[in-house]
A and B are shown apart, each in its own frame.
Chain A
C-alpha cells in the first residue's frame, strides 16, 4: 500500500511540476541597441566630368552640316587648384563647374556640369538609351584609393537585371555607355553605389532627332531619396516642354505641385500619384514662365526634370527642328543648408523657390549681394543675373535655386548648386562574433 501511494504521490508531484512550471514569469532575452555613429568623411576634391563626347565619334562627312563633330567648340573649366582626372578635372575649392558650347554637329548645345564631391550612394535621374539617344555615365574618383562602383539601372519597368560594376583608379575616370548595358530604355534612372570614399558620377545625355541635334546636357546627381523635393528653374520659353521624372525605390504616393512667381499654379490630376517600387515614372509639367515643381511623398523618392527647348534649323531642310535640353535634378528642401555654385559664362538668370516666406539673397565670394528677392511661401522668382565667370555664388539657406544658362541660337543649360558642408552620414556599429568567411 505504501509503495502504491509512493508511486502515485511521485506521479502527482510530476504532474504538479509540469503545471507549476508553466506559471513561471518569463524574462525575454533581448538584443542590445547598436552604436549609432556619425561618419564624417575626409574632405575630398570636387570633380567635373570634362567635355562631352560625341556618341558616334567625330565623323567628318565632308559636309559641315552632316558631320557629327564641330569646329565651333568652347570649353570652360572653372575651379581652384584644378588638376586633371581622366578627361575631367578636380578642384579643391568649394565649387567648380564646366560649361561647353558646341555650335554644330550631333551634340550641339550648351552643356553645363557642377563639379561634385564623391558620394557612396547616389541617384542620377535622367538619360535615355532609346534610338537616337546616348547615355554616357562618367565616373570620376577624386580620392587616393581605388573604388568600385556598382551601377544599377531603373526603367519604366522597374529595376533592370542588367547592371555594371566599374573599378576606378585613384584620381581616375571611367566611362560607361549605358546603351551598352541596356538598350532601348527611353527613361532611365541610375543608382551608383561605390565603395570607400565614393565616386563622382555624371551622366551625359545626348540625343539626336534624325540628323538634327536634339540636345545634350550633363545629368548631375540629385538629392538622396527624400519625401520633400523641389526642382527650381522649371520656367521655359514658349514651345519648350518640361518632363518630370520620378522614382520611388520602395514605392510611394506622391503629390506634385507647381509653384510660380505668384504662388501655386493649378496642375490637375497629379495628386496622389502612385509610384511602384523602382519604376521610373514621367509626368508632363505644364508650361510656365518661371516656376518650380514641388514634390511631397509619403516615402522617399528621387526626381529630376528635363526641359527641351526647340529651335529652328538655319540652313537645314524645311520643317527641321533642332533642340537643346537641360536637366534639373531635384533638391532636398528640408536640409536647410546653404548651397554654392561656380558661375560660368552664359549664366543669364537665377530661379529661386521659397518653401516658406523669406528674403533670398545670393552673395559672391566677397559677401557682396549679387541678387536678392523677397518671396512668399511656395512661390518662385526668376532674377536676371550678370556675374563674371569663376565667381562662387552662395544662396541663402532655406531656399532652393538654380542658375539658367542660355546662348544663341536657343542653347540652354543649367547649373545646380551643391551643399558645401561635409555631410556626416549615420553608421550603425555593432559587435558580432566572427567565425570565418561566410559567417
Chain B
C-alpha cells in the first residue's frame, strides 16, 4: 500500500432492519484496498452480525437518521490528515475493487469533494441502478443519468464530473463533509445526496463519478422493504417527490418571487399527476401525489435556514453548476425513453410469432370488414326506420312527442336543474337527484345542443346499439358472423325500437350502454376471448384483467342507472356475482358498482325510507328519470321475445302470425340459446347469460307491474314502469350466451360432427340474417302504424314574445291553454314547451317530493280554478296569475274558444297572434312593475328581482316581504345585505321572507345540503371512472409490473 494513500474511514449506518448488513460487511472485508477504520452504526439493542475476522469493526449506537449516525462517528473520532469518509448503507455492498478505484480517483482528482461509484442491482451486477443524477433548472425533478436496469456495457465509462451522485458507497472528503455540515435533514433521506453534491460544487469542490467502481445497491429504503411495505417503490414516492420540491425551493433564485410560485406550481403539478394516476388506475398513488404539496408546505419553515447555509458555503457562482442542469428537452426525452423501455419489455414478453402475426393480420382484416359491414347495415336500418327524423334534424327541426316533450333544451336549463337540485317544472319542487340532466349535459354542450344530439340518439338508436353490441360481443366470440348477427339483433331488439318511437331517452341510453358495461366487466375480470389463431388457440393465451376496463364498466353502469334506475339492482347483483368469480381481479370488478351506487344514492335512501321491502320502495327503485308514459302490461314470455303491447302483428298478418313475425328476433335468440345449452359449450358464459336474462325478465315484469310515475295534476296520466331496460338485459344475456357458445364452433368436433356443424352453421347464420332483414322490412313497412308518437316538429313551441319573457331576468312563467271537447287544458311552462329531458323531481303517489316527505307542496293544480275562470272570461284571474309569476297567457293555435274568452278580459293585453298561438300579457294588478318570478312587496310598492330558475337577487328600497313565486320549500334561503331573512307564511303557499327596513339588496336561492353532497360524490366518482377508463399504457405497465 502506498504511503501516500489517503486515510479512509468506512462508516456503515444501519437501522437494524436490513438483513443484508452481514453481506455488506463481508464485501468491505473483501476489498482489495481495505479502509483504515470501519465503523458500524446500529440502533440500541440491535445485534451486530457476523463480520469477517480481518475487519476491526467499531460499533456505535445509532441516531435517528443516516446523517446523525455519521455525525456521531465523526464526533467520536477526530479527523486524520486528508481523511476520506466511505459512506455505506446497510444495503450497499461494494464489489472488491471499489475502494481501490475510488481512492485512485480521489488521489488523481484532488479537487473532488465527492467520489461516487456506479450503483448496480443487488442481484445482477450487470444492471445499472444509478450513475450520477442531475436536476432541471427549476430543480423540481430529479433526472437519473442512466436508465434504470440498463445493461452496463461500459457505455458510461467515460463519465467523470456529474452534478451529483448517490452518497451511498461514495468517498467524501471529511473536510468537505464538515465544511458543509453533513447532510440536510429537511430531505428526510430522499434528495439529500443531490443537495449535498450541489453544495459541494458551489463550495468549490468537484463531484466525480467512477463508472467502473460498482456498488451493489438493494435500495431497501426506497423500495419500502425497511418499512415492511408491500407497495415497493410506491411507498416512498411521496417522500421522494417532496424532496425534489424542497430542492427546487432551496435552490430557487429570487426566493420572494420564486417560492410562492413554486408552491403554487407544486399544487398544480400534484393535481395533474393525480389525474394521471387515476388514468393509470394507480388509485393509491393519488393520495401520495396530492399530499406532496402539503408536505412541502410543512417543510417550508426550514427552507430559510437551508438557503442561508447554501449562501454561506458557496464560493462559486450559480453559473458553475448551470452546465449540469438539464432543460425541458432532456426531461421529455428522459420520460420518452422510460416509456419506450417499458413498451419494449412488454413487446418482448408478448410478441407473437411470425405465423401468429400473419393470422392476427388476417383476423384484423376480417374484423374490420365485419365492423364496417355491421355499421353500414345498422345505419341503413336506422335510415329505413327513422330516415325522416334525420332529414328533419338536418333542416333545423327537433324531435318531440307526448312523453319526450321538447328536445330543444338549452344547456343553462339542464345545468341549473342538475346544479341546484330545484326542478322548475310547474311551480317547482325539490328533486331527488339531478343525474338525468347531468347525463344529458354533454349533448346540450355540443354544437347543435340537445336538439341535434338527442335527435341523433333516437334517429340512430338502432345503429348505435348495434355498433355497441359489436364491440362488446368481441369479448364473447371472435366469429365475425356471430358478432355481426348478434350486434344487429341487439340493435333491432323490438323493445329498443319501441323505446325509440316513444321517445324514452333513458331506456334508449341504457340499451346503448349495456354492451359497453358487459364488455368492461368481462375484460375487468380477464374473461374476454383472445383472437382465435391456429387450431383453436387464442392470442394472447392468457388474458390479463384490465383495471381500465373495470373503470369503463363503472362509468357505463353509472350512466345506465342514471338513464334507467330500474337496472341498478340487477346489474349490481351481476357485478357482485361476477366479482365473486373473478379471482384476483375481484376488487377491481366490485369497484365497478361503486359510482352507480353513489349516483343512485338518493334513490336508495328514499327507497329505504319508504320501507325497504314494499311496493313504494320498488316504485322508487324502478323510477323513470326522463320521458315516461303508460304502457300495456304483457306476459313475461312476450317480454322474452321482445314483444310489447303494441306488437300486434305485421301488415296483413294479424294475430299469431304477426306476433311471430315481430317477435322473430326473440324467437331466433331463444332457439340459439337452447342450442347453446344443449351443446354444453362455454358453460360458464352460457350459464351467466341465462342468469342475466332471468334477472332481466324479472326486472322487466316487476317494472311494468308498478306505477312509477304518479300523475302530477288534474287529468294527468300516471305511468307504469317500462319493460324495455329489463328486456335489454334479456337480449344482452341471450345474445351473450349464444355468442359465447358459438366461439370456435368452426373448429369444434371431429369427422362427421365437424362436417355437420359446418353444414348447419351457415344455414343457421343465413336464417338469422333473414330474420333480421325481415324485421327491418316489417318495422319499416309503409302502411304500418307507428309504434310511438315521436315526430319532428318546429323548435318554436311557444310564440316568440312568450319565450322572450321567459328568458328575461323577470323569468315570467307562461300559461298555455288548449281547447278540449268539454273544457280547457293548461300547463305552466318555464321554457319553450314542456321539458321532460331535465329529469323528474320524483314524487310519491300523493305528489309530494320524495325528499320532502310529510309536506304538502303547492302544485299547478292550484291554478285549475283560475283557468276555469279564464275559460269563462271571468274576472280577477289576473291576480292569481301574477301571484304565481305567470306573465304571459298563450292560447294554443286552433284553440279559438279559449282565445276569444281571453280576448274578453280587459286585464289581459293581446301582445301577438301567430300560427304558434295567441299571446296575452298579464299585468300585475295595481302596479306598473311587470310580473316576475320574485319580488319584494311593501303595500302597493313592488320591486321585481332578477332571477333564474333557482336563485335571484336585486336591489330593494326599504323593507317589505320577499315573495318567490314557487312552492314554499324549506330549501329556500334568502338574505338581505348578507343577513339571513326569516321566512314568513304565505297565504298561497309560496316562499316568502320578511325583509327588514333599510335593506339595500336582497338575494335568494335554493339550497339542499344532502343533494349537494350526493351531487359532488357522484360527480367525483364518475369523473374518476371516466379518467380511469382511459386505457393509458395499461398493457405495457401491466406487463412490466407483473
Q: Which residues of A contact B (CB under 8 A)?
A: 3-4, 6-11, 13-14, 16-22, 24-35, 37-42, 120, 143-148, 194-197, 424-439
Q: Is the CB of A32 within 8 A of B683?
A: no
In the bound complex, residues from chain B placing their C-beta under 8 Å from that of A433 are 402, 405, 827, 834, 836
Question: Which 7 residue pairs are nearest across A and B when measured between Cβ atoms?
Answer: A430-B715, A39-B872, A37-B868, A196-B900, A428-B823, A195-B900, A21-B701
Contact of A21 among B697, B713, B906 (CB under 8 A): B697
Other-chain contact of B683, A4, A39, A432, A436 (Cβ < 8 Å):
A4
- Nearest CB on A from B948, distance (A): 22
- Tell me the bound Cα distance from A25 to B615 in angstroms: 10
The minimal Cβ–Cβ distance linking B980 to chain A, given in whole angstroms, is 35
In the complex, which residue of chain B has the Cβ closest to the Cβ of A433?
A: B834
Residues of A within 8 A of B1025 (CB): none
Q: A-facing mask of B589-607, CB < 8 A → 1, else 0? A: 0000000000000000000
- Cα(A429)–Cα(B828), bound, Å: 13
Flag whether B901 is at the interface (Cβ < 8 A).
Answer: yes
Judged by a CB distance under 8 angstroms, whether B997 is at the interface is no
- Per a CB cutoff under 8 Å, which of B691, B715, B899 touches A34? B715
Contacts known (A11-B677, A434-B818); A42 close to B904, Cβ less than 8 A: yes
- Beyond A7-B687, A14-B697, A37-B864, whether A431 also contacts B716 by CB under 8 A is yes
Residues on B facing A (Cβ under 8 Å): 400-402, 404-406, 615, 630, 633, 635-637, 639-640, 677, 680, 683-684, 686-688, 690-691, 693-695, 697-698, 700-702, 704-707, 711-720, 793-794, 796-798, 816, 818, 820, 822-827, 829, 833-834, 836, 860-861, 864-865, 867-869, 871-875, 892-894, 896-897, 899-901, 903-904, 906, 915-917
Tell whether A436 pairs with B868 under 8 Å between CB atoms, given A27-B615, A144-B904, A430-B820. Answer: no
* Chain B positions within 8 Å of A145 at CB level: 900, 903-904
Q: A34, A39, A40, A433: which has the most chain B beta carbons within 10 Å? A: A433
A437→B864 contact, CB < 8 A: no
Residue of B nearest to A3 (CB): B683
Partner of A427, one of B680, B694, B712, B871: B871
Residues of chain B contacted by A18 (CB below 8 angstroms):
636-637, 640, 694, 697
Which chain A positions have C-beta within 8 A of B864? 35, 37, 429, 431
Complex Cα gap A6–B581 (Å): 14
The contact of B716 among A24, A28, A31, A439, by CB within 8 Å, is A31
Minimum Cβ distance to chain A for residue B449 (Å): 16
- A29 to B622: give the CA distance in the assembly, Å: 14
22 contacts between A and B (CB under 8 A): A3-B683, A7-B683, A10-B688, A13-B690, A14-B691, A19-B636, A22-B701, A29-B717, A30-B711, A31-B717, A32-B713, A39-B869, A39-B872, A41-B872, A41-B874, A143-B904, A194-B900, A429-B864, A432-B715, A434-B818, A434-B833, A437-B797
Question: A17 near B698 (CB under 8 angstroms)?
Answer: yes
Report A-chain residues with C-beta under 8 Å of the C-beta of B637.
18, 22
Q: Are A431 and B702 in contact (CB under 8 A)?
A: no
Contact of A437 with B794 in the complex, beta carbons under 8 Å: yes
Assuming the contacts A3-B680, A21-B702, A148-B900, asked whether A436 and B796 have C-beta atoms less than 8 A apart, the reply is yes
Q: Do B677 and A7 touch across chains, with their CB atoms under 8 A apart?
A: yes
Main secondary structure of the interface of B (DSSP, over half): mixed
- In the complex, chain B residues whose CB is within 8 Å of the CB of A28: 633, 707, 720
Q: How far is the CB of A38 from chain B (nearest CB, A)?
A: 7
Interface centre among A10, A14, A432 (most CB of B within 10 A): A14
A16: nearest residue on chain B (CB-CB)? B694
Asked whether, in the complex, the Cβ of B718 is within 8 Å of the Cβ of A17, the reply is no
How far does the alpha carbon of A144 sit from the alpha carbon of B797 in the complex, in Å? Answer: 30
Min CB distance, B63 to chain A, in Å?
Answer: 63
A437-B687 Cα distance, complex, nearest whole Å: 52
A401 CB to closest chain B CB, in angstroms? 30
Q: A4-B683, A18-B694, A148-B896 are in contact. List 4 more A-B contacts (CB 8 A).
A: A14-B690, A39-B871, A143-B904, A427-B822
Nearest-CB distance from A302 to chain B (Å)? 19
- Asked, given contacts A7-B680, A14-B693, A33-B714, whether A437 binds B720 with beta carbons under 8 Å apart, the answer is no
A146 and B636 in contact (CB under 8 A), knowing A29-B707, A435-B833, A436-B916?
A: no
Are A37 and B794 neighbours in the complex by a CB distance under 8 Å? Answer: no
Min Cβ gap A92→B in Å is 17
When distances are taken between beta carbons in the complex, the residues of chain A under 8 Å from B872 are: 39-41, 424-425, 427
Chain A residues closer than 8 Å to B875, beta-carbon distance:
42
CB distance from B976 to the nearest CB of A (A): 36
B798 to chain A: which residues have CB within 8 Å? 436
The CA of A197 and the CA of B870, in the complex, are separated in Å by 11
| Complex alpha-carbon distance, A430 and B906, angstroms | 25
Do the beta carbons of B871 and A429 come within 8 Å of each other?
yes
Q: Are A32 and B694 in contact (CB under 8 A)?
A: no
> CA separation between A350 and B268, bound complex, in Å?
101
Is there an interface contact between B684 and A431, defined as CB atoms closer than 8 Å? no
Alpha-carbon gap, A285 to B639, bound state (A):
66
Chain B nearest CB from A24 CB (Å) reads 5
